[in-house]
Amino acid sequence: MTSAVSFQHVSRHFGPVRAVDDVVLDIAPGEFFAMLGPSGSGKTTCLRLVAGFEQPTSGHIEIFGETAEGLPPYRRNVNTVFQDYALFPHMNILDNVAYGLMVKGMPRRTRETKARDALDLVELKGFEARRPSQLSGGQRQRVALARALVNEPKVLLLDEPLGALDLKLREQMQVELKTLQRNLGITFVFVTHDQSEALSMADRVAIFNNGKIVQVGAPKDIYERPRTRFVADFVGSSNVLPPDFTQRTGGPGKWVSLRPEKITIAAGGMKPGSHAVEATVTSVHYQGAVTRVNTEAAGQAIAVSAPSSFGAVNIGDIVTLQWPADAFHAMEDEA
Amino acid sequence: MTDTAAGTVHDRHGGLLRRISDTLFRHPHLLLTLLIAPPLLWLGIVYLGSLLALLAQSFFSIDEFSGMVKREFTLSTYAELLNLANVDVILRSLVMAVAVTLAAALIAFPIAYYAARYARGRWKAFFYLAVMLPLWSSYLVRVYAWKLILAKEGIITWLADKLYITWALDAILALPVIGGPSLSISYIGTFLVFLYVWLPYMILPTQAALERVPANLLEASADLGAVPRQTFWTVIFPLALPGLIAGSIFTFSLTLGDYIIPQIVGTSTYFLGQAVYTLQGTAGNIPLAAAFTVVPIVIMGIYLSIAKRMGAFDAL
């Protein structure tokens, strides 16, 4: 099957900076694909390479089997939802949404009908005559989405589209985006630095660091089996433990990740047996259903996520931490 | 709990200045009033007042025998304005102002676009310097310099001769109405000097407007399928239009009102500014001079309302 987007050893250098460094990636048609990484990791540059705002320094990009090299953005059947929406301030909402159809020469009546349908899709009926400046952040975000979708792109690129929204709105938009994508069947490529957003929305996630892809996989794979220390650090609030520590507690003598929710906490000192340590409570954070307990064991910080019903611990308490034998996940030692 | 002695929480020390700033803090409107009162008085009374006094003069007339101003309401001065000779002056000034404005916009836009989009650091400093530097020298010096450049013995004639294109220069000078014996004694010369002198006033606001166009709007436009030409006309141009209009207000009104350039470079026919200058000076006809000054005000009013109706300020 042809990939929706195919990166074949793609690099993009800005002077000495390797913004994107030998990326190999295939995104399947109809997939909701997230590019996750810290700022400056190359994920946005990858998106811009697909959109056509950047050209690769070396390598090859295909969109649905057709080479994209040298094609300017306006010749690609790909649309972008920009981070700060980039709505045209001098046009009303209807003209903004109809813009792509207008420049392609579609007659006014047809394009306005389509634009109204697109606004309907993002639940913004009745806003046609307003200016972008009269809309809230969430509404602008929807306009940007409608403006891209009305062109029926083969691939929709989203550059941190929810970054400017507050938490509640962001969670609501996450659900709506996901539903929309499923109903439309368009390939979504979604760039974000928010790991929970990537994990909750995407079918597959690529983790970027220093211009390279560190790991690609389903959210569950990435969360439970991070390939490197970097992934474990970045993706979740996992405990990343060094080889000497794991060896002392019956582990493999490699870097491992240990999920806070796999650890059980018991009051009092050490009981005999491996896969357990004695630790001192350093702070306690009540979070509703769970309580996060930060502890320290032999100079190593270990976070525990325990059900709030487990009983009270206080700062300075000596506790025993225990985990199942298979809770350690060994990783490559790569920052 | 720590005990706090009464009066030690807030800082209540300070003398008169402190008390004044406290009062101003509590009454922000008082501060605003104090700040804008002097300029408001200046604009409102000294400037607008004298302008109105001048305009009022245009409704008086001059006694043809005594040469004294008759302080009675009349429209006869405006009727005089419509004399063929006076209409000629108005039309000549208007056509010149339009031509200078259009040419300035055409030349200024690419320069402003380059400066706003591409020039960085050192090049930007160079741009500002190149645009502003002429403004630092005396206006008269620049105009006289142009007179020499454009004169029959000037560098343009010399250059045309060296390049064997004297025939082209002659052809231009042979053009009816705008040509003349030499560039410095023709409307073309007046036009060129106006264009040179007012060009910075067109470049700077245009550049400021272009600078405010976010680059991602251009990317969004391309992303949505617009070829560069479409992006220019549907995104860049409308967003730069307020700057162009602001610049054109300068070039247009400055050309309409100037009385020195056409006197030094050009034919001996009058432009609006010269008419006003002569009428209120040697001719002593203050009412007609006042009526002449009303003309550019009315023209600017019409121009701005047309611009507004065409949506030139929608992007503001």
Q: Give the residue from A84, A87, A83, A79 showing the smallest Cα distance to A188.
A: A79
- What is residue A75's DSSP assignment? G
User: Do the Cβ atoms of B220 and A53 come within 8 Å?
Assistant: no
Q: Contact, A334 vs A228, CB < 8 A?
A: yes
- What is residue A299's DSSP assignment? T
Q: Contact, B143 vs B193, CB < 8 A?
A: yes
Would you state the structure tokens that stand for residue B37, as one six-digit string?
């009162």
**Does some domain include residue A335?**
no
DSSP letter string over A174-215?
Answer: HHHHHHHHHHH--EEEEEES-HHHHHHH-SEEEEEETTEEEE
As a whole number, mean pLDDT of residues B208-218 equals 92
What is the rounded radius of gyration, in angstroms, for the C-alpha atoms of chain A?
24
Q: Give the residue from A233, A207, A237 showing the smallest Cα distance to A219.
A: A207
User: Do the Cβ atoms of A74 and B234 come within 8 Å?
Assistant: no
Burial classification of residue A133, based on how many CB atoms lie within 10 Å of its CB (0-12 exposed, 13-18 middle, 19 or more buried): exposed
pLDDT computed for residue A143 by the predictor: 94
Q: In one letter, which amino acid is A6?
A: S
Number of domains in chain A: 2
pLDDT band at A270 (very low <50, low <70, confident <90, very high): low
The 10 Å Cβ neighbour count of residue A187 is: 24
Q: Say if residue A191 is in the same domain as residue A275.
A: no
Instruction: State pLDDT tens for residues A151-202.
Output: 999 999 999 888 878 888 888 888 888 998 999 899 999 999 988 889 889 9
Domain B86-309 sits in CATH 2.30.40.10: no
Instruction: State pLDDT tens for residues B133-186.
Output: 888 889 899 999 999 999 988 899 999 899 998 888 888 888 888 888 888 889
Q: Say if residue A35 is in the same domain as residue A75.
A: yes
Q: Contact, A291 vs A310, CB < 8 A?
A: yes
A53 touches chain B (CB under 8 A): yes
Domain membership of residue A91 as a residue range: 5-233
List CB contacts (< 8 A) between B214 and chain A.
86
Which has the minimum average pLDDT: A14-28, A255-269, B4-18? B4-18
User: Do the Cβ atoms of B223 and A73 come within 8 Å?
Assistant: yes
Q: The CATH number of the domain where A292 resides is what?
A: 2.40.50.140
Instruction: State pLDDT tens for residues A44-63.
Output: 999 999 999 999 999 999 99
List CB contacts (< 8 A) between B230 and chain A.
103
Among A233, A256, A282, the domain-final residue is A233
Query: Would the pLDDT of A271 be above 70?
Result: no
**Does some domain include residue A85?**
yes
Among A202, A233, A264, the domain-final residue is A233
Q: Say if residue A225 is in the same domain as residue A265.
A: no
Rounded to whole angstroms, the Cα distance separating B239 from B206 reads: 10
Prediction pTM value: 0.80
Nearest CB to B223 within list A51, A102, A104: A51
Query: Would the pLDDT of B107 be above 60?
Result: yes
- What is residue A271's DSSP assignment? P
**Does some domain include residue A120?**
yes
How high is the ipTM of this complex? 0.84
Would you state the structure tokens that stand for residue B312, as one six-digit string?
């030139």
Q: In one letter, which amino acid is A179?
A: T
CB contact burial B85-97 (16+ within 10 A = b; e otherwise): ebeebbebbbebb
Q: Give the residue from B259, B256, B210 showing the smallest Cα distance to B236.
A: B210
Q: Give the residue from A9, A43, A11 showing the smallest Cα distance to A202.
A: A43
- Residue in chain A closest to B241 (alpha carbons) equals A90
Rounded to whole angstroms, the Cα distance separating B76 from B71 reads: 13
- Residues A115, A116, A121: CA angle, nearest 5 degrees: 95
User: Do the Cβ atoms of A74 and B225 come within 8 Å?
Assistant: yes
Residue with tokens 């993002």: A122
Rounded to whole angstroms, the Cα distance separating B195 from B105 reads: 10
A208 touches chain B (CB under 8 A): no
Q: The CATH number of the domain where A41 resides is what?
A: 3.40.50.300
B224 touches chain A (CB under 8 A): yes
Pairing of strands A78-81, A155-159: parallel
pLDDT band at A240 (very low <50, low <70, confident <90, very high): confident
Q: Say if residue A244 is in the same domain as residue A260.
A: yes
Phi, psi of A150 (to 5 degrees): -65, -20
Nearest CB to A82 within list B216, B230, B315: B216
Quote the minimal CA–CA distance from A79 to chain B in Å: 6
A312 or B243: which leads in pLDDT: B243
A313 or A214: which leads in pLDDT: A214
B135 touches chain A (CB under 8 A): no
pLDDT computed for residue B176 by the predictor: 85
Rounded to whole angstroms, the Cα distance separating B77 from B257 reads: 20
Q: Say if residue A228 is in the same domain as residue A242.
A: no
- What is residue A216's DSSP assignment? E
Q: Tell me which H or E stretch contains B238.
A: helix B237-257
Q: Contact, B251 vs B100, CB < 8 A?
A: yes
Query: Would the pLDDT of B62 be above 70?
Result: yes
pLDDT computed for residue B200 by the predictor: 94
Query: Would the pLDDT of A328 be above 70?
Result: yes
- What is residue A332's DSSP assignment? B
Among A172, A205, A233, the domain-final residue is A233
Residues of chain A above pLDDT 70, percent = 98
Q: Say if residue A186 is in the same domain as residue A313.
A: no
Strand order, beta sheet including A66-67: A17-27, A5-14, A58-63, A66-67
Query: Would the pLDDT of B314 be above 70?
Result: no
As a whole number, mean pLDDT of residues B53-77 equals 83
User: Do the Cβ atoms of B225 and A72 come within 8 Å?
Assistant: no
Strand order, beta sheet including A187-192: A78-81, A155-159, A187-192, A32-36, A204-209, A212-217
Q: How far is CA B29 from CA B16, B40, B42, B45, B144, in A?
A: 20, 15, 20, 22, 50
pLDDT computed for residue A140 by the predictor: 93
Q: Give the residue from B137, B119, B273 showing the smallest Cα distance to B200.
A: B137
- Residue in chain A closest to B314 (alpha carbons) equals A90
B260 φψ region: left (φ > 0), alpha (ψ -120 to 50), beta (else): alpha
User: Do the Cβ atoms of A104 and B225 come within 8 Å?
Assistant: yes
B222 touches chain A (CB under 8 A): yes
User: Do the Cβ atoms of A86 and B230 come within 8 Å?
Assistant: no
Q: Contact, A320 vs A268, CB < 8 A?
A: yes
Q: Contact, B58 vs B294, CB < 8 A?
A: yes
Query: Would the pLDDT of A22 be above 60?
Result: yes
B1 touches chain A (CB under 8 A): no
User: Do the Cβ atoms of A86 and B220 come within 8 Å?
Assistant: yes
As a whole number, the mean pLDDT across chain B is 88
Pairing of strands A155-159, A187-192: parallel
Instruction: State pLDDT tens for residues B252-263.
Output: 989 988 999 999
Q: Contact, A205 vs A198, CB < 8 A?
A: yes
A152 φψ region: left (φ > 0), alpha (ψ -120 to 50), beta (else): left
Quote the minimal CA–CA distance from B91 to chain A in Å: 35
DSSP letter string over B77-127?
Answer: HHHHHTSHHHHHHHHHHHHHHHHHHHHHHHHHHHHHHHHHHT--THHHHHH
Residue with tokens 């454009």: B150
Rounded to whole angstroms, the Cα distance separating A12 from A227 reads: 25
As a whole number, mean pLDDT of residues B279-300 equals 86
A151 touches chain B (CB under 8 A): yes
Nearest CB to B224 within list A79, A89, A90: A79
B225 touches chain A (CB under 8 A): yes
The CA-to-CA distance between both ends of chain B, in Å, stands at: 56
As a whole number, the mean pLDDT across chain A is 89
A99 or A330: which leads in pLDDT: A99
**Does some domain include residue A88?**
yes
Instruction: List chain B domain ranges.
Output: 19-53, 86-309
List CB contacts (< 8 A) between B224 and chain A.
74, 79, 99-100, 103, 147-148, 151
User: Do the Cβ atoms of A74 and B226 come within 8 Å?
Assistant: yes
- Residue in chain B closest to A97 (alpha carbons) equals B224
Rounded to whole angstroms, the Cα distance separating B193 from B143 reads: 7
